Structure 1
Amino acid sequence: MTAANSWFLVITGYAILLAWPVSTLALVSFAVRYMASHRRVVVDRSLAKGDGTPEHFWIIVPALNEEVVVGNTVNAALALGGPGGTLARVLVVDDGSDDRTPDVLAAINHPRLMVLRRELPEARKGKGEALNAAYRYIAQITAEAGVRPDKVVIGIIDGDGQGSSNILLEVSRMMRDPQIGAVQVQVRIRNRNKLLGAVQDLEFGAIVNACQSLRDTIDTVGLGGNGQFTRLSALLALGDAPWSACLVEDLELGLRMHLDGVGIRYTPRATVTQQAVVDLRRLTRQRTRWAQGNLQCARYLRRLAASKRIGVTSLVEMFHYLVSPWINALVTVALLGGVLVGAAGLALGHPMPYLRSWQDLATSGEVWFAVTFFPGFIWALVHRYRLRDESLRRLLTAAVAYPVFLLLGLVATYRAIARQASGRQSWAKTERLAEEPISPAPMQVALAA
């Protein structure tokens, strides 16, 4: 290997390593400025474009063996109110539960609660199919009542989810712009008293929030599986089954809406909380499913590139979102492989041109260590500055654990590739944790249809 090639490898390696902290600082800088100004601009712009304010709200709760959490989720959803005193109807899709979920739901006697029970063989074909069944039910009721579908909003709150009290009001503010067909609210973690929960809340409350805020400015907001709100009219435009069998049906729905020219907004002013996965094995399984779903959505890259409705900046961000996990996995292997080869050369007395001594290896390790831990500490400070609902000590502890969390993500990416290549699609359900019960919602009656 020539000296020129050696220097090229060294420079390339350090450039790749430094790209992460540099991009983190850039994203943090944007997020702080966004919080200070852009949100007000977006809301003002929405208010100036006409009145598409929703008048009817449905909350769909997909439930498969959710006996320990579904009671709290339903009671919290029934307590939500929108503009002008409008109240949400709650439709629980019991997707063939064989635990006490039906009994828990039957014990909630409320006029705004409906339960759609799916039996085998129709049941248990994935969350997307359960959501489609609920959507068709709501569409039928809306049509029979003669209600305009653009005035009806359907929200998705998972079996362990609980929306903030202002969630419908904030969604309504964003949707006053008739061009906005969907809104994604911020996701937070409730059980963050444990380390894994604190790291996941650092991810959602700081990192994902900053990424979604950036996408909000360039019209590339992605929909999440929890806390997504869509106009019924936007779903009807996608046919009889807006949600697919993709393992991340929410990501695919967002891509289809962007291709259809539907405006999607993100708001950090309202939240939906969910439970963290506090078992490493189950967390790896969850992230593997997400990564495999991301891989499945890569088939949209060609359509995105050919679309005349998506600008160049938006297209670049979508490509980055879909492809970057796989690039990161390959680059990590390449960097680690280079280090191992260099170390082996030193041990055998044949040093590589880019790694001539053990001191060079130690220096590289120090740089790698600093680069790996730096972003987590920055995001911990952002979380503390922005949300102020968690101690700095706990956040810094989560920052220390964050690199291990990222390593778990890489493992999940490799597993996802193997599962996709072998055609495996089945998944075990994420286990829920029992919580203190929430008081039932008052017995008000919703507006018709």
Structure 2
Amino acid sequence: MPSVTPGGGMNRIDEVYLFRPDGTFNDELDKPDWQKRTTGRYSISGKKLTLKYSADGDVSDYDIASSDRIDAGSFFLLKQPMDNSVPKGFLKFTNMTSMGGIGTGTTYVGTSSTRGLYFDGKGRFSTNSENTSVIAGEGIGGGGTNKKGGAGTYKINKGVLTLTFDDGKTQVHSFYYRASEKPVMAVIDGDIYFMKDEKEMAAERSKSSSSASKRERSATNSSLSNEAATKTADAKALLLKANAIHGGAKLDNIKTLTFEATLQGITVTGYVDVAVERLRLEMSKEGKLLQVQQLDGNSGWEWQGGKTAALSSARVNEMRTSFYTGILGLRKSEIEALTVENVKSGKAGTAIVCMQNGKRYAFIINDKGEMSASGDMATKVPLTTVYSDFRQTDGILMPYNELNTTGKQRLSTQYSNFRINPVIPAQTWNKPSVN
């Protein structure tokens, strides 16, 4: 079912801002239109930098520590000049996410991804990426890795890096780097890459060469010796079994859904149109409407205090997750469409890491065949949801309690009712009237 809270977990988050001479700034350099996209406006008064965001009017004040350093309180912003050159060497970006583990009552599921770019200084590049998943818990242990790469030629012009692969494909990226500062680092599509020095690369190549076969044998033996490990077909079979336990055909045929829930004293009313991936959340207290968030496919809006603004891309992704994980993720159509990355079984149940709709999710199935937890590992801040208080509702086994973990923050959501396949009047999706 749709989660009423944003995600959470452990992750590295890079904060990157593009400041323009006209007083505008953009903090979404991963977007295709990053050169023209505007997040808000900035102003400088003395040693104070003020950012005002266009979407919600929020204001942030930062201290200018020096000409190339801004103190943002919990982090520092370092100046990355626009340069028409690319440093020779290997640039590496690593990202890690996790769900569950100690204190959550569920199996630990973690993933890491590494992306690397090597520039030879003469116009040639090579790239590689590696995704690894790890599952650990009581009686559970294991992991899996997949790799890919490519090569071609590169060009740089005023912060725009163009990669032309040998097979003819082209990629365009935003690119900024500090040429004279150590350590050398570059900002590519809003992510921070660090350059490895030659000694480090030589040591890694030597280590990799001498231990590659040992690692392969170890990984193979580990996989074969773990009797709890299952194949992709077995993982999907287990998910289909969970589908049957949670409602089978009735679950598969959910077209619309409404619910009411309580979260920290706030009443949340939800409306879901599964066919068109439309989701509306209305937050109220003591009968007064406080906020509305609505997803319409790949975009959405939110209303608060009589004002309407576009949903952030992060919140759009979080809300879309509702259709690919949780109860709706157990629909047969979704199970058949997913790609299993890793699966391990043990006393705590079976944990399955999979790719769906181009993003990574996780399911944990207990020994009763019920979905005891799920995780959205696709966003910068992952979400872990533990389910309990299962009740039969119109032939579907629904969890009436969710424990959502956001890093160290834990929020409990108690559902009071669900309605399966109700008729949702068209006017339900209208924006609220201004009070």
Same fold (TM over 0.5): no
TM-score normalised per structure 1: 0.21
Looking at both structures, which has the greater relative contact order when contacts are Cα pairs under 8 Å and sequence separation is at least 6? 1
TM-score normalised per structure 2: 0.21
